Chain A
Amino acid sequence: MSIWEYANPKRFMQTSAWALPWAVGLTVVLLVVGLVWGFFFTPDDYRQGSTVKIIYLHVPAAMMAINAWVMMLVTSLIWIIRRHHVSALAAKAAAPVGLTFTLIALVTGALWGQPMWGTWWAWDPRLTSFLILTLFYFGYIALWAAVENPDTAADLTSILCLVGSVFALLSRYAVNFWNQGLHQGASLSLDKEENISDVFWLPLLVSMAGFVLLFVTLVLMRTRTEIRARRLTALLARERVA
């Protein structure tokens, strides 16, 4: 039993059809618990007041915005190396979801920044790298939309994703170099002592898990749609020939 069996579209459709209701249910439960807990049952921060509560949307969305690109990078590599169509379609399906998470992170950040920093937008390294990430997402999606032949599109976007990842990383360090930050450091990290209190940390963890599952659910749904669309095209083509 190897993971590559799921590269077979039929197998993927069967498994995802079984997994999807569970993923949807778990996403709803985790998001409701995490967000309700975060919004209504946590104390206000002593300096930020109730604006701290945006963390339950902002941090998970920002995390998933980056992870979505990483997932696209991995699936693009799998497509280039092993030519599994499901992989290419999953990358295509993930891009708009990742773009939406990026925009959520930018908008919630602006809403929080207005009362806290006194500005909607500052050319801070983190904010700037997210804006650049948005541009990469736009370019990637536009290239998918522009190329008609699906295999050509998958090849070209995979190459763009690989090169884009290198340049996105470069840009990340370039903007660090270019301007000193206004944004606070990491709220959570694996290797250092947490600099956020447990009261905020637990609901945050729940909503982060909820966002991960939300991403998985959406990508599964969108990949299934893509596969069905591909089958439909094949059927129509066969009908035209017959």
Chain B
Amino acid sequence: MRALLLRDLRLAVRSGGGFGLGLAFFFLLSVLVPLGVGPEGGTLGRIAPGILWVGALLACLLSLDRIFALDFEDGSLDLLATAPIPLEAVVALKALAHWLVTGLPLTLLAPGLGVLLNLPPAGYGWLVLSLLLGTPALSVIGAFGAALVVGLRRGGLLLSLLVLPLYVPTLIFGAEVVRRGAEGTALATPLALLAGISLGATALLPFAAAAALRVNLR
């Protein structure tokens, strides 16, 4: 299992593109929004939590189709399906690898972009914490979506259509944590719900994703 994880990480880092692309996209988005909205600090500070969360979500979406597509094309997914470890574990590991090369760097980059967007000082800690808790859900839900469309030729666009509605609760609670954190109001409820979504998705969605993969490999 560790070998599989390391293989995925190595592929993600060395094959180029996927790894840095999401981060660059996140950065570009945070630069473009002030250019479009205007440089006024109060407005930017108010929309910063939402922009950062939407940016993280879209950046995550960019690399989703790589989770299974490459392995499906060269046939290694068939080998993984017949391997001694269960397919559910393969899905969970691939989602973990995706999170390590997308969600985690995004989380680390986010405070820097918060400066660009004039996020109020009280919000930074909550921004990192909410992304740390929320991005695993994004990766797991994304892995489920990628498993659904893995056999399709033009899966990329369809993938975003399928996955974005599933991202709604995560986005709402995540951005709510940061907004309340920035305002200094009570935020235990959205934080707990965000963590709950992440845990629930991580526990259950690998089964759904593995079922979809089995259908696609049939």
4 closest A-B pairs (Cβ-Cβ)?
A: A135-B165, A174-B169, A155-B215, A170-B169
A174: chain B residues at CB < 8 Å are 168-169, 172-173, 193
Cβ-defined contact, A139 with B162, below 8 A: yes
User: Which residues of B line the A interface, CB within 8 A?
Assistant: 144, 148-149, 151-152, 154-155, 158, 161-162, 164-166, 168-169, 172-173, 176, 189-190, 193, 197, 205, 208, 211-212, 215-216, 218
B69 to A: closest C-beta gap in Å: 14
Judged by DSSP, the binding face of B is helix
Partner of A152, one of B158, B164, B168, B216: B216
Known contacts: A156-B148, A160-B148, A163-B208. The answer to whether A178 contacts B172 by CB under 8 A is yes
A146 at the interface (CB under 8 A from B): yes
Partner of B172, one of A156, A164, A177: A177
Cβ-defined contact, A170 with B197, below 8 A: yes
Bound form: Cα–Cα A164–B205 in Å = 11
Residues 146-174 of A, flagged 1 when their CB comes within 8 A of B and 0 if not, give: 11000010011001101110011011001
Q: Smallest CB-CB separation from B168: which chain A residue?
A: A171
The CB with the most chain A CB atoms within 10 A, among B144, B172, B212, is that of B172
A136: chain B residues at CB < 8 Å are 165
B154: chain A residues at CB < 8 Å are 146
Cβ-defined contact, A164 with B216, below 8 A: no
Known contacts: A152-B151, A156-B148, A170-B197. The answer to whether A162 contacts B165 by CB under 8 A is no
